[in-house]
Structure 1
Amino acid sequence: MSPRQPKGNNIPTRRSSIERRSSLERRSAGTRLERKRFLILCEGETEEAYFVGMRTRGGPVLEVANPKVDHLRIIEEAKRRQLVDDYDDDDQIWCVLDTELDSRLAEAMLAKAGPKVQLALSTPCFDFWLLLHHKDHRAPFQTAGHVEKALKSAVRGWTRGSTRFGDFQDGIEVACRRAKAIDSDGNDHMRNPSSSVWKLVESIRASAGE
C-alpha cells in the first residue's frame, strides 16, 4: 500500500512528474534498475543549471530543483520530499546553500538538516565553488558580490542567469582538489572562502563510475 494513500481510500493519488520520471528511469519490466537517486535542492538558478548539466545517460538520477524559498525552508522541503517520495537508503538528499558569511545561519542550517539531509555549503556563496574550476583563490572575500566579480573576471561572458555547465566541466577535478586543500573534510563551513560542494560532486561522479 502506498504511504500516500490511507487504508480504505480508493481515490487515486496523482504522482508528481519527478516521481513518474524516476519510476520510468529506474524500473524495467517490474525490476528495479541499479541507478542511485540524488535529490538536489538549490538556493538559486546558478546552482540549478550547474547540477542539471551534470546529468549523464546511464548515470545516477539527478532530481534538481530550485524551490525559491529561504535557506531553512529549502531544508524543510528536502525533508518533506525524503518522507513522501520513494527514496532508498542508498539514495542521497542534498541541499546546496550559501552561508553568506553568517555563522548563526550556518549553525541553524546544520541543526535543521539532521541525519537524512546532507548540506553542500559555500562561504560566502556558490560562486566560489565555480571560481575554483578556473582559479586557485585563497584570500578572504568581504561579500558575495566580490566573489561574483572575481568569477566574471575568470570566465568571460559568465553571468548569474546564463550559467553553462560546459564552462566548468573540464575543471571539476581541479576544483575538488583546490576545495579539499582549503578544507580537507568539508566541515569548516565558516572558513572564508571555502566550499563543501566537492563532497556532493565527488559522490555523483563516483555513482556514475567516473
Structure 2
Amino acid sequence: MSQELQRRRRAIATGLTPYMNEPLLLEAISLWQQTYAERPRFSLQGFVSELCQMFDLGERRHQIHMSLVQAMTLSEQELADDPLAGSEENPAREHPCSQAFEQIMRSLWEGIGARAASQLRLDMAAQLRSNQVGAETRLTMEYWLQAPERPLAPLTLAALRDQLNRTYVLLCERLGPVEADQQLKAAYQNALQTRIDPTALRQLL
C-alpha cells in the first residue's frame, strides 16, 4: 500500500473511531480497503451509505460523513495510528508460522500456475467474508491477497491453520481431492527447501 493510501486508511480510522468500537472499526476498514480504497475521495458518501446499512447507523449518517471529510484534511500528527501498523512493523522473521504460511502459499501458487493461482486468490478473498472469519484475520488476509508480493502481517497459529484448511477445501473444489493433496504436499516439500523454520511448517499442518 502506498503512503497516500496508508494515510487515507489512518484518516478513515480517525473519522470512524468516535462512532465504532474496535471490532466494528476493523470491519469498516476492511470494507473500505476492499471496495473504496482505490476510488476518488468523493466516493466517501457511498462508503458511508454502505456502513450505515451494515451497522444500522442511519441516524448518524451525516455526522459520520462529516467526521470522515474532516479527518481527510488533518495533518499526519493529528491522525489516529494505522490499525495494521503494530503487526506490519514486525518483520516476518519474528513470526515463523506466518512466514511458513506465506511460503506454502507462494509455493502452491507457483505449482498450480499463474492463471489458476490468480483464481485461487480471488476464491480465498471471497471466502474471507464468511461469518466464521474474524475481522482481524479478514483484514490482514485481504490486505495481503491484494498484493501478495509484500510480507504477510502476523496472524495467530489457529487463524493460519484455518486459512490453510480453507485453501485446501477450495483446491479440492477446483482440482479434485487427489490433485489437491498432491499440490499441497509439493508446496510443503518446496517450502522445506527454503530457509523457513521446519518446525513452523509442521505446526501448520
- Alignment TM class, shorter chain as reference: under 0.3
TM-score by length of 1: 0.25
More strand by share: 1
TM-score by length of 2: 0.26
